[in-house]
Chains A and B, each alone.
Chain A
Amino acid sequence: MDTRRGTPVSPGVAAGPVLLLDTEWFRISRRKLRTADVDAEIERFRTAMAAAATEARQEQQNIGKQLGRQYGAIFEAHAMLLEDPAMSGEIELQIRTDEYAAEYAVSRVIRRYAKAFQSVGSSMLAGRASDLFDLERRVIGCLLGDRREELKHLTAPVIVMAHDLTPSQAAQLDPSKVHAFVTEAGGRTSHTSILAAALEIPAVVGVGPFLEDVSGGDEAIVDGNHGLVILDPDDATRAQYESARKTYVSFERSLDELRDLPAETKDGVRITLLGNIEFPHEAAHAVAKGAEGIGLYRTEFLYLSRDSDPTEEEHYKAYCEVLSHLPAGVPLVVRTLDLGADKFNPRSEPVSEEQNPALGVRSVRLCLQNLPLFKTQLRAIFRAAVHGDIRILFPMITTMRELRRCKLLLKEVKEDLFEDGVPFAREVPIGTMVEVPAAAILAGPMAREVDYLSIGTNDLVQYTLAADRTNEHVAELYSAVDPAVLFLIQRVLDEGRKAGKKVNVCGEMSGEPFFAALLLGMGLRQFSVTPHSIPEVKRVIRSLTLTEAENIAREALLLETASEVMNYLRTQSRRLLPELEL
């Protein structure tokens, strides 16, 4: 048994066999052979080893020619390792006696050697482990040939482990088959984490290097509540988690009982709770959890995992589908495309590579530089708004000029629709996301020109504290309750109130029970959170009076560091919300 710790990003517990995804995305299954097939499997293994050795020698020649003989020599060493009697003997032994499929036996033996290299205490050997992983890839590549199995074709439930998943890769995960996922990289607010929470798959990220110790098919438990990954768990641990899982399920049920109760404070202040979604069908789930509407529909997935830009019809259908899952008259906030050129490049007009994508052409900037792409989405929003209470939300607005440009474009889109004689909604409320410090500072003028503001805490924290939210080395700086961030949030809430405009918080922050009390006290009356957080946030709201929340906010805003704020909020929630301690 081996326990690793990471960042919990999506709650729940799952146990099952590991599906290891390496950078090349092939999976290694712990398939058992029939005894009669063992000889054939050994033959298959030998053929693959020979092919891998030939490949390595070919590489030795090529590299040797290109860069000089000494550089090619490393591949000769690889070839010889592949022919090494000790290693291949062990692999054959595993195939014969344990009846493992060749892929699994190769992975197991090579990884065991790699681990031995790393643990023997010699830096010289430890550095060689990467050569072994190279060999593993090469042999398994030869074994699988063209038969690399893809994620889409999963047949049995698994726990996916990978160094990192891109949002589009994560989007391919089938929640009915993928029961949890764990990544070495990533942080609490990376898109992948948000996606895991949306899919309600338990997930732990930022575990650091550990995949070398895992083989596909190994058993593991993922504890998404505490950020634990337990490899090869013993029976006692298994039993303990099985009972914890049951408790968690019944806790979830108890929260579900809150569904039909209003979100209001003990002294009767009514709060609006909305859901954040990534996919149209999640709208139904959000409503089931008690959402009074969709406060943030992220439309990025219309753009990802495909070869062409989405058409107006595809947009329109997606928005109508969301509406079809919502009760009549319930609001749906559609956020326009919010991707950087690093994650998405318009097929029509690609953006060149950037040094610093977070500060480059992304989100609404990308859209304003690619008007046909932007107009396609806006047309669809206006058309779908005929069927329900749709509102537009522009992400990453930084200057008044950008905001005004967006508003002008809206006018133009309406004119085009009018001229084309297509039915569309003439009055669609528009809002701007406050997620750049500049927008928070200019919240007053911005509020006067829109119908509502929505604070996107994830990016606001990242840009205020200049810390990449997915970089584990600076993750410590990234805190939603840093006094500088709270100052900006307070400003936006105040300016919104002065302008008579609603302010919403839609970052992951508002879904944290600790933070919900603080935001309530700071003046927030509308929360938009991941659907599964709705009951918990509702419970916090229902456990407090507004005065209590305001006292918490007043004290918290006097503190000078993020950790002081965090400690203070912990103490307060223990005092006021003892049942939150699980």
Chain B
Amino acid sequence: MSAINRPSAGTLDPPLSRDIVVVNPQGLHLRPATAFAKLARQFASSVAVCRDGQRANGKSQMELLMLAAESGARLTLEVEGPDAATALDPLADLLAAADASDD
């Protein structure tokens, strides 16, 4: 499966990253992935979520889903771009919390 919207390189800001463990017992399923992509799309920076060398565009639920991140999976969040610093915390919180509440 080809990823069309890869985070573009070449900005001056260095990429920021953070390691996260999925805690939602159902993993990174449709609704948390949707919520995450929705938030990610609000930032100008590129957002990527990586797992075991597999890299997903954070603005695409489909690619996030394809990570098949079950509960306990270790993910790396990478944000790169002008608003990377502002984006990192809320995105990381959302990914870590992966709201278990809504099920």
Which residues of A does B touch, CB under 8 Å? 70, 73-74, 76-77, 80-81, 84-87, 89-90, 93, 112-113, 116-117, 120-122, 124-125, 128, 131
Would you give the 0/1 interface string for B49-90, flagging 1 where the beta carbon is closer than 8 Å to chain A? 000000001011111011010100000000000000000000
Q: Taking the nearest CB of chain B, how far is it from the CB of A93, in angstroms? A: 8
Q: Taking the nearest CB of chain A, how far is it from the CB of B33, in angstroms? A: 8
- Tell whether, in the assembled complex, residue A85 and residue B60 are in contact, meaning their CB atoms are under 8 Å apart: yes
Among B27, B60, B102, the residue within 8 A (CB) of A122 is B27
Instruction: List 25 A–B pairs whose Cβ atoms lie within 8 Å, in order of A's numbering.
Output: A73-B31, A73-B102, A77-B61, A80-B34, A80-B38, A81-B34, A84-B37, A84-B61, A84-B62, A85-B5, A86-B5, A86-B62, A86-B63, A87-B62, A89-B5, A90-B4, A112-B1, A113-B66, A116-B66, A117-B65, A121-B68, A124-B27, A124-B70, A125-B29, A128-B29
| Contact (A120, B62) CB under 8 Å given A70-B102, A85-B57 | no
- Tell whether, in the assembled complex, residue B62 and residue A122 are in contact, meaning their CB atoms are under 8 Å apart: no
Interface status of B2 (Cβ within 8 A of chain A): yes
Would you give the 0/1 interface string for B90-103, flagging 1 where the beta carbon is closer than 8 Å to chain A? 00000000000010
Q: Taking the nearest CB of chain A, how far is it from the CB of B63, in angstroms? A: 5
| Candidate in B26, B30, B31, B66 with the most chain A CB atoms within 10 angstroms | B30
Interface status of B3 (Cβ within 8 A of chain A): yes
- Tell whether, in the assembled complex, residue A116 and residue B1 are in contact, meaning their CB atoms are under 8 Å apart: yes
Would you give the 0/1 interface string for B2-29, flagging 1 where the beta carbon is closer than 8 Å to chain A? 1111000000000000000000001101
Q: Taking the nearest CB of chain A, how far is it from the CB of B4, in angstroms? A: 4
| Complex interface: chain B residues within 8 A of A120 (CB) | 66, 68
| Complex interface: chain B residues within 8 A of A70 (CB) | 102
- Tell whether, in the assembled complex, residue B30 and residue A131 are in contact, meaning their CB atoms are under 8 Å apart: yes
Interface size on B, residues (CB 8 A): 25
- Tell whether, in the assembled complex, residue B70 and residue A77 are in contact, meaning their CB atoms are under 8 Å apart: no
Assembled-state Cα–Cα distance A406/B57 (Å) = 73
- Scan residues 30-46 of chain B and give those whose CB is less than 8 A from a CB of chain A: 30-31, 33-34, 37-38
Which residues of B does A touch, CB under 8 Å? 1-5, 26-27, 29-31, 33-34, 37-38, 57, 59-63, 65-66, 68, 70, 102
| Complex interface: chain B residues within 8 A of A117 (CB) | 65-66
Assembled-state Cα–Cα distance A470/B67 (Å) = 40
Assembled-state Cα–Cα distance A258/B96 (Å) = 77
Assembled-state Cα–Cα distance A93/B4 (Å) = 10
| Complex interface: chain A residues within 8 A of B102 (CB) | 70, 73
Q: Taking the nearest CB of chain B, how far is it from the CB of A118, in angstroms? A: 11
- Tell whether, in the assembled complex, residue B30 and residue A85 are in contact, meaning their CB atoms are under 8 Å apart: no
| Candidate in A74, A81, A84, A117 with the most chain B CB atoms within 10 angstroms | A84
| Complex interface: chain A residues within 8 A of B3 (CB) | 86
- Tell whether, in the assembled complex, residue B57 and residue A86 are in contact, meaning their CB atoms are under 8 Å apart: yes
Assembled-state Cα–Cα distance A80/B102 (Å) = 18
- Tell whether, in the assembled complex, residue B2 and residue A90 are in contact, meaning their CB atoms are under 8 Å apart: yes
Q: Taking the nearest CB of chain A, how far is it from the CB of B97, in angstroms? A: 16
- Output the nearest chain A residue to B68 by Cβ-Cβ distance: A122
| Contact (A76, B68) CB under 8 Å given A84-B62, A87-B62, A90-B4 | no
| Contact (A76, B2) CB under 8 Å given A81-B61, A86-B57, A125-B68 | no
- Tell whether, in the assembled complex, residue B27 and residue A76 are in contact, meaning their CB atoms are under 8 Å apart: no
| Complex interface: chain B residues within 8 A of A128 (CB) | 29-30, 65
Q: Taking the nearest CB of chain A, how far is it from the CB of B23, in angstroms? A: 14
Assembled-state Cα–Cα distance A121/B68 (Å) = 8
- Tell whether, in the assembled complex, residue A89 and residue B4 are in contact, meaning their CB atoms are under 8 Å apart: yes
- Tell whether, in the assembled complex, residue B34 and residue A86 are in contact, meaning their CB atoms are under 8 Å apart: no
Assembled-state Cα–Cα distance A121/B66 (Å) = 11
| Complex interface: chain A residues within 8 A of B63 (CB) | 86
| Candidate in A76, A89, A120, A124 with the most chain B CB atoms within 10 angstroms | A124
- Output the nearest chain B residue to A76 by Cβ-Cβ distance: B34
| Candidate in B3, B26, B68 with the most chain A CB atoms within 10 angstroms | B68
| Complex interface: chain B residues within 8 A of A84 (CB) | 37, 60-62
Assembled-state Cα–Cα distance A302/B5 (Å) = 58
Assembled-state Cα–Cα distance A124/B65 (Å) = 10
